[in-house]
Structure 1
Amino acid sequence: MINVTIDGKAVEVEEGTTILQAAEKVGVKIPTLCYIKELDPEASCRMCMVEIEGMPKLVTACSFPCADGNVIYTKSDRVIEARRGVLDLMLSNHPQKCFSCVKNGECKFQDLCYEYGIKETTLPGEMIEKPIDDTNPFFTFNPNLCILCHRCVNTCQKITGRGAIGTSQRGFRSVISTPFGTDWYDSNCESCGNCVQACPTGALVMKRREHYRPWEVKKVLTTCPHCATGCRYYLVVKDNKIVDVEAAEGASNRGLVCVKGRSGSFDFVHSGDRVKYPLIKNKETGKFERATWDEALDLVASKFMEIKKKYGSNALAGFACSRSPNEDIYMMQKLVRCCFGTNNVDNCARVCHSASVAGLAMTLGSGAMTNTIYDITHDVDVIMLVGSNPEEAHPVVGMQIRQAVQKGTKLIVVDPRDIDLAKHADIHLKLRPGTNVAFANGIMNVIISEGLVDKKFVEERTEGYEKLAEICKDYTPEKVAEICHLNADDIRKAALMYAKAEKAPIIYCLGVTEHSTGTEGVMSMSNIAMMVGKLGKEGCGVNPLRGQNNVQGACDMGALPTDFPGYQKIKTEGVVEKFEKAWNTQLSHEVGMTATEVFPAAIEGKVKGLYIYGEDPIVTDPDTHHVIKALTSLDFFVMNELFITETAQYADVILPGVSYAEKEGTFSNTERRVQRVRKAVELEGEMRLDTDIFIDLMNRMGYPQPHLTSAEIMDEIASLTPSFTGISHARLDALDEEEIKKSIQWPCPEKDHPGTPIMHVGKFTRGLGWFYPAEYIPSQEQPDDDYPIILMTGRILYHYTTRAMTGRTPGLMQIAGHSFIEMNTKDAEKLGVKNGDKVKVSSRRGEIQSTARVSDKVSPGESWMPFHFPDGNANWLTNAALDKYARIPEYKVCAIKIEKA
């Protein structure tokens, strides 16, 4: 430690601390323009110059380290004059049009000129007018207002890791530019807007800034409604309308957001096609007609109770919405259990990550991500990324992985496609779709044969090792290479790289889970980590990136046919009785049907009534014909929705709820982090809080449910769910007030418990970790002469699931508005298909048309499609074959044929 004095204030700091950091410690403010806290200082703007007693020259506080005994002055006459000179130079090449600039009142350069009394430059010269680039749908770049602080460049290159912009030319002609000076729209920019938020002037501005000024708005801190990264941001509200988004310093996003979060998270809230009144379908005309709330709720309650009386409780089912808050989901599953009298309740995790819930629960005792996003993307030696494309599906996690790779972390990508991260990988195992278990067993074969098993960890903390080790003997790298279409040496290199690293997390996503052997795939990830003792430690673990914003919370809240809230099993002695006592009613003791079992049961006539809250299975579930047949087989079908979606069109009643921006609550992100959602606007219409809709229905169906606020519902959750005991709205609000980065990860078993960042420290939740003896089983549908190509499905950066939200943002539709199918070059040549051609794609279940994207991104005999687009939804083709444990569909492998249209 060393001692320095800054403006008369003594401070003790660690050796190596910069003057700027030391000044912050004692509350001395030093102005900066180019400085970004997370990065090594650039020291290019020179605004932070300070004077050190005894030194002839001024130094930059952001980069200059303190020395013991330094006496530092940050506001001496010499310092003030130097800063004035810096601002004068910048202003000499900066148009003084502050009044008309959209950043007026929120421009750091303007603020500093005002503070230091610089009204005009003393160095007038020839200003070179540079062309404005407004080709990006969301923001404009005006180089004439740029002060070359490089905050945008450093943000793009070193924080988001995209590298879409740099500095070109020299002197007064220097300009921030895309590679080769292409238009911003045609560059590799992701439109995330993080560079815009970093800009201290009006050089980079969101186009929507034209419609408001900073003094006209309020900011509401909330959580993003898209993927499960759980990014924190502020909704910027003017006159009861959301006009912008600003990233906040959340624990999972660290001040970053993606294009969907910044630009695709509020247009849908104010969309003109919102359902604003209860609708009842006229059976004669087939059209929806406006109804009163009493008419709609009376009809729904009476019809469901009529079905229950006539056919029994198990003839009813309900699906919860994984994009809605925890409190909504809790009340939905309570309605199904207390009023329908059945455990036929589920959520969309069933078709994406139920394999993670089931698999990790069986092997480790808890079906959730073991570590934090920050922990597995910062200061780690190796990342093994399996069946995950986070740059598109979880973009802010992808940004943090790119950061890690830039800083020296080694990357192993295990994916059938050449995803962008594969370009930066040390090893890319481009395996055949559906062969994850064989790959994992091959990795463990090498670990065992090379003597890299953590024997102490295995002996003290696990069981079942011997049986798995015996199985793995047969999975030599050569055999696995043949199954997976890989190089045996690459398998060896990947195994050694992962096993020998001190800190090496496994990160996986739907490429592991969405298979008929998805649960075995998940347990195989767990097997690998346990074998080398990489669980319960920093920078390690098994980490599923959950899909939707609250799909983790939907499972946590008991929207599962097997579990009550907090994964309290129906079949565990005393659990049902516990909830019967708390809810003061009799409950079913039978495990319910999963969502993927409800649809065939509806076709068979076993399920007669269905209540879906905010899901769109016609778009998201496999074999669309099958889903439509199930919905049309029902006697009565109700939806809570914001829009008349493709699924809602088949409903008998639509009950209009409200969006995340119109309610209070919490989301649980992929790392088990429980974060607040806050009401920002209140719209015209008769839409109601979804929790109030459920409560009114419960009372109409004979269950006396008191009306509760969202905070009161969370208190009830905490009273019944051991992992949530210490969580409340009041506590989360207090943490946000104190520091936005602070939040709580369950399990949080006491009211003063800090939460649990890393699971399974010292002991697994189930006691001993279990090595599941997984054998490779091929996917249920293989290519043949009639359907010779494997189809995989997934997400793209610019849209989320059904596009119900992102599809209502014009800029996103401009960038990506149509279906496509990725084909291999050799397959395209055989079929006479060229890039951009229209093609007909068919499977045993249906056919669609799409546009060919021809490249070597996928291997010969393989193809890939997104499922977002109605002009070619891949789920008309996909196979509803189910995993034996989690009943998850096999989205990632089905057989198709492609023909030129």
Structure 2
Amino acid sequence: VAARRIILELVVAGHPLECSACAQAGRCALAGYCRAYGVRESRFAGERRVYPVEGGNPFIVRDPNRCILCGKCVRACAEITGREVLDFAYRGFSTRVAGFGDAALLQSDCDFCGNCVAVCPTAALTARGQVPEKLVRTTCAFCGTGCNLHLGVRDGAVVGVVSDDEAPANGKALCVKGRFGWDVAYRPGRLTVPLVRRSGRLEEASWDEALDLVSRRLGGVRRERGGFAAIGSTRCTNEENYLLQRFARAVMGTNNVDHPAGSRYTGGGVMTNSIGEIREAGLLFLLGSNITASHPVIGYRVRQALRRGARLVVADPRRVELAGEADRWLRLKPGTDAFLINGLIHIVLAEGLYDAASVGPDTEEFAALARSVAPYVPEYVSGVTGVPAEDLVAVARLYAGTDRAMIIYGSGSSDQVYGAATVAAMVNLALVTGHLGRAGAGVNPVRGQNNAQGASDMGVLPGFYPGYRRVDDPEIRSRFAAAWGVALPETPGLGIPEMFAAAGRGEIRAMYILGANPVLSNPDAALVESGLAGLDFLVVQDLFLS
């Protein structure tokens, strides 16, 4: 105990003791230890460091005078994010934590994730914003990773974000959007009252007026059996998406319901591995995703795996950030992902690299698969994709020969003309090599929005009820009809592209769009605009004008 007191006195000898005015007052780990061990001041008087406070950063306030050189921020930057922006600079009494060349964070390669702030035990690194009165646990809404966090609330308003140490997907780690993007709720332009179009202009209306108008117009479409379609949201909750699809089916009598991510993903887009298992992979095969930008926390996991010795293959037309750290970068031509994967399967089968133990009990139609990929010889695939044949062979051997290989793919691979074929080929590649059903080995989509999976799970799909129950199965349909107390349509509905094509032909008269912007999310914007122009009535429920 005496030794600990001495250490604390040495630490606070050069540390400001204005605790009541400190941004970390009541939360400072150093102050907590000093109280616990009865240290109120230091016997070791001497020269103190005096550095300027780095306050020009819009996210982080950095006060080197309060730094105790514990090194937690350095380790967080290196071991959590893998960026290694911070390190110890200078020597002896002049030692301090700094970026390269002692530059300010704004002039460094820092991406302002704030993970250094989360681990700092003092006020050397603090997030801008007010001190919260209470914390409310929630899930980040920016991407599909599913990070848990605490919203800091003061006077009924959100004033900041605090890491959730128990979060299963991310732990303390967050990205710049999750930690500092909370103010989106208060951005100018946020809609706070309903808008109704009168004489070609959107004007404010009361809730009663807006709801009466929607009820009357949609009721008319239902009575006249005019066409109706609903588009759900990949950013809304499961409950909201469930209600939308039930409204479309049980009230409007149609299965014309879909969401922007739709049914493009094999198996509903489910990851076969947990995010934590990424660190256990021996090889990571990344396709169609700039994951460090689109899903930064999963990008952290990838870098953590690389630090543990994992190999990395990146297939992307762009030189994404991780391409510079990859063992192989396959710079394929846009839209040729399916050819690439089928070419790898061909090499695996031709060279006998497939896993015979997995092919037998775990797969069907193996002979048919072999016949289908027979034309995809390396020279042909190289000509289509632009990837050298020797790189194709090397990657196929590496993937098949690694004990635990994991495919991670994004919308760059799935949201293209041959997207469904690409995803199916990825699954086939994993199956024939035995890279499914084990920790650290599998096929894992990273979804573009925070609840793309939930929208599918809740039945916002033209051919499926909640839980992926088929709408054209009489037994399943009768169960839902009994539960909802109404007869249900028998045939699958239209997906989003077909909805707008039908609207353009006058077959869809009204549409309800929940938290989506199909003009931006659909690859054929002209088709969407033409379909919208053909509608008699359009309802859009969103936070901002789209």
Give the TM-score, by structure 1 length: 0.59
Which of 495, 511, 514 does residue 412 from structure 2 map onto?
511
1:170 shift after superposition: 0.7
Once residues 467 and 49 of structure 2 are traced to their aligned partners in structure 1, the CA distance between those partners, rounded to angstroms, is 63
1:286 aligns with 2:207: no
1:621 shift after superposition: 2.7
1:346 aligns with 2:267: no
What amino acid is the match of 1:571? Answer: D
**Do 2:260 and 2:522's aligned partners in 1 also have CA atoms closer than 8 Å?**
no
SS of the equivalent of 1:574 reads helix
Q: Which residue of 1 aligns with 2:54?
A: 133
1:203 aligns with 2:120: no
Which of 89, 109, 112 does residue 168 from structure 1 map onto?
89
SS of the equivalent of 2:42 reads coil
1:143 aligns with 2:58: no
**Do 2:287 and 2:410's aligned partners in 1 also have CA atoms closer than 8 Å?**
yes
**Do 1:323 and 1:550's aligned partners in 2 also have CA atoms closer than 8 Å?**
yes
1:234 aligns with 2:146: no
Once residues 482 and 279 of structure 1 are traced to their aligned partners in structure 2, the CA distance between those partners, rounded to angstroms, is 54
What amino acid is the match of 1:236? Answer: G
Once residues 459 and 623 of structure 1 are traced to their aligned partners in structure 2, the CA distance between those partners, rounded to angstroms, is 42
Q: Which residue of 2 aligns with 1:94?
A: 15
Once residues 407 and 526 of structure 2 are traced to their aligned partners in structure 1, the CA distance between those partners, rounded to angstroms, is 36
Once residues 444 and 51 of structure 2 are traced to their aligned partners in structure 1, the CA distance between those partners, rounded to angstroms, is 47
SS of the equivalent of 2:455 reads helix
Once residues 495 and 202 of structure 1 are traced to their aligned partners in structure 2, the CA distance between those partners, rounded to angstroms, is 50
1:609 shift after superposition: 0.4
What amino acid is the match of 1:304? Answer: L
Once residues 435 and 520 of structure 2 are traced to their aligned partners in structure 1, the CA distance between those partners, rounded to angstroms, is 38
**Do 2:280 and 2:439's aligned partners in 1 also have CA atoms closer than 8 Å?**
no
Once residues 22 and 270 of structure 2 are traced to their aligned partners in structure 1, the CA distance between those partners, rounded to angstroms, is 48
Q: Which residue of 1 aligns with 2:113?
A: 192
**Do 1:241 and 1:270's aligned partners in 2 also have CA atoms closer than 8 Å?**
no
What amino acid is the match of 1:613? Answer: L
Q: Which residue of 2 aligns with 1:482?
A: 383
1:308 shift after superposition: 2.5
Q: Which residue of 2 aligns with 1:252?
A: 169
SS of the equivalent of 1:463 reads coil
1:183 shift after superposition: 2.2
SS of the equivalent of 2:405 reads coil
Counterparts of 1:615-634 in structure 2, within 5 Å, are 615-634=516-535
**Do 1:507 and 1:544's aligned partners in 2 also have CA atoms closer than 8 Å?**
yes
1:222 aligns with 2:222: no
1:111 shift after superposition: 1.2
Once residues 482 and 621 of structure 1 are traced to their aligned partners in structure 2, the CA distance between those partners, rounded to angstroms, is 29
Which of 220, 236, 243 does residue 306 from structure 1 map onto?
220
Which of 455, 465, 468 does residue 554 from structure 1 map onto?
455
In proportion to residue count, which structure has more helix?
Answer: 2
Unpaired stretches in structure 1, ≥5 consecutive residues: 1-79, 647-901
Once residues 304 and 156 of structure 2 are traced to their aligned partners in structure 1, the CA distance between those partners, rounded to angstroms, is 38
Counterparts of 1:688-699 in structure 2, within 5 Å, are none
What amino acid is the match of 2:452? Answer: V
CA deviations 1:186-231 (Å, max 9, x no partner) are 21111110100100000000121xx32xxx6111111111111100
What amino acid is the match of 1:317? Answer: A
What amino acid is the match of 2:172? Answer: G
1:619 shift after superposition: 3.1
1:355 aligns with 2:271: no
CA deviations 1:739-767 (Å, max 9, x no partner) are xxxxxxxxxxxxxxxxxxxxxxxxxxxxx
Once residues 83 and 345 of structure 1 are traced to their aligned partners in structure 2, the CA distance between those partners, rounded to angstroms, is 65
Which of 413, 417, 423 does residue 522 from structure 1 map onto?
423
1:96 shift after superposition: 2.0
1:430 aligns with 2:331: yes
Which of 360, 384, 388 does residue 289 from structure 2 map onto?
388
Which of 234, 244, 248 does residue 332 from structure 1 map onto?
244
1:452 aligns with 2:361: no
Q: Which residue of 2 aligns with 1:369?
A: 271
Q: Which residue of 2 aligns with 1:812?
A: none
Once residues 89 and 204 of structure 2 are traced to their aligned partners in structure 1, the CA distance between those partners, rounded to angstroms, is 60
Once residues 573 and 368 of structure 1 are traced to their aligned partners in structure 2, the CA distance between those partners, rounded to angstroms, is 26
Q: Which moved more, 1:472-481 or 1:460-469?
A: 472-481
Which of 257, 273, 280 does residue 379 from structure 1 map onto?
280
1:406 shift after superposition: 0.8
1:592 aligns with 2:493: yes
SS of the equivalent of 2:186 reads coil
SS of the equivalent of 1:220 reads strand
Once residues 411 and 367 of structure 1 are traced to their aligned partners in structure 2, the CA distance between those partners, rounded to angstroms, is 22
1:551 shift after superposition: 0.6
Counterparts of 1:638-649 in structure 2, within 5 Å, are 638-643=539-544, 645-646=545-546
1:432 shift after superposition: 1.2
Q: Which residue of 2 aligns with 1:263?
A: 180
Counterparts of 1:687-726 in structure 2, within 5 Å, are none
Once residues 124 and 140 of structure 1 are traced to their aligned partners in structure 2, the CA distance between those partners, rounded to angstroms, is 27
**Do 1:161 and 1:403's aligned partners in 2 also have CA atoms closer than 8 Å?**
yes
SS of the equivalent of 1:112 reads helix
SS of the equivalent of 2:55 reads coil
SS of the equivalent of 1:287 reads strand
Runs (4+) of structure 1 exceeding 6 A deviation are none
Give the TM-score, by structure 2 length: 0.97
What amino acid is the match of 2:233? Answer: C
Counterparts of 1:394-793 in structure 2, within 5 Å, are 394-643=295-544, 645-646=545-546
**Do 1:504 and 1:540's aligned partners in 2 also have CA atoms closer than 8 Å?**
yes
1:272 shift after superposition: 5.0
SS of the equivalent of 2:19 reads coil
Q: Which moved more, 1:181-190 or 1:580-589?
A: 181-190
Counterparts of 1:775-814 in structure 2, within 5 Å, are none
**Do 2:118 and 2:172's aligned partners in 1 also have CA atoms closer than 8 Å?**
no
CA deviations 1:485-529 (Å, max 9, x no partner) are 122222112111111111111111112111111100000101100
Q: Percent identity?
A: 38
**Do 1:391 and 1:398's aligned partners in 2 also have CA atoms closer than 8 Å?**
yes
What amino acid is the match of 2:191? Answer: V
**Do 2:193 and 2:204's aligned partners in 1 also have CA atoms closer than 8 Å?**
no
Once residues 37 and 185 of structure 2 are traced to their aligned partners in structure 1, the CA distance between those partners, rounded to angstroms, is 43
Q: Which residue of 2 aligns with 1:297?
A: 211
Once residues 162 and 270 of structure 1 are traced to their aligned partners in structure 2, the CA distance between those partners, rounded to angstroms, is 31
Once residues 221 and 516 of structure 2 are traced to their aligned partners in structure 1, the CA distance between those partners, rounded to angstroms, is 23
1:367 shift after superposition: 4.6
Change (3 A) 1:110 1:244: same
SS of the equivalent of 2:502 reads helix
1:390 shift after superposition: 1.3
SS of the equivalent of 1:84 reads helix
Q: Which residue of 1 aligns with 2:45?
A: 124
1:275 shift after superposition: 2.4
Q: Which moved more, 1:107-116 or 1:189-198?
A: 107-116
**Do 1:135 and 1:184's aligned partners in 2 also have CA atoms closer than 8 Å?**
no
SS of the equivalent of 2:151 reads strand
SS of the equivalent of 1:242 reads strand
Q: Which residue of 2 aligns with 1:835?
A: none
CA deviations 1:603-635 (Å, max 9, x no partner) are 211111011111122333334344333222211
**Do 2:9 and 2:44's aligned partners in 1 also have CA atoms closer than 8 Å?**
yes
RMSD in angstroms over aligned alpha carbons? Answer: 1.6
Which of 192, 195, 200 does residue 276 from structure 1 map onto?
192
Once residues 133 and 510 of structure 2 are traced to their aligned partners in structure 1, the CA distance between those partners, rounded to angstroms, is 45
**Do 2:406 and 2:440's aligned partners in 1 also have CA atoms closer than 8 Å?**
yes
What amino acid is the match of 2:177? Answer: K
**Do 1:341 and 1:588's aligned partners in 2 also have CA atoms closer than 8 Å?**
yes
1:479 shift after superposition: 2.5
CA deviations 1:19-66 (Å, max 9, x no partner) are xxxxxxxxxxxxxxxxxxxxxxxxxxxxxxxxxxxxxxxxxxxxxxxx
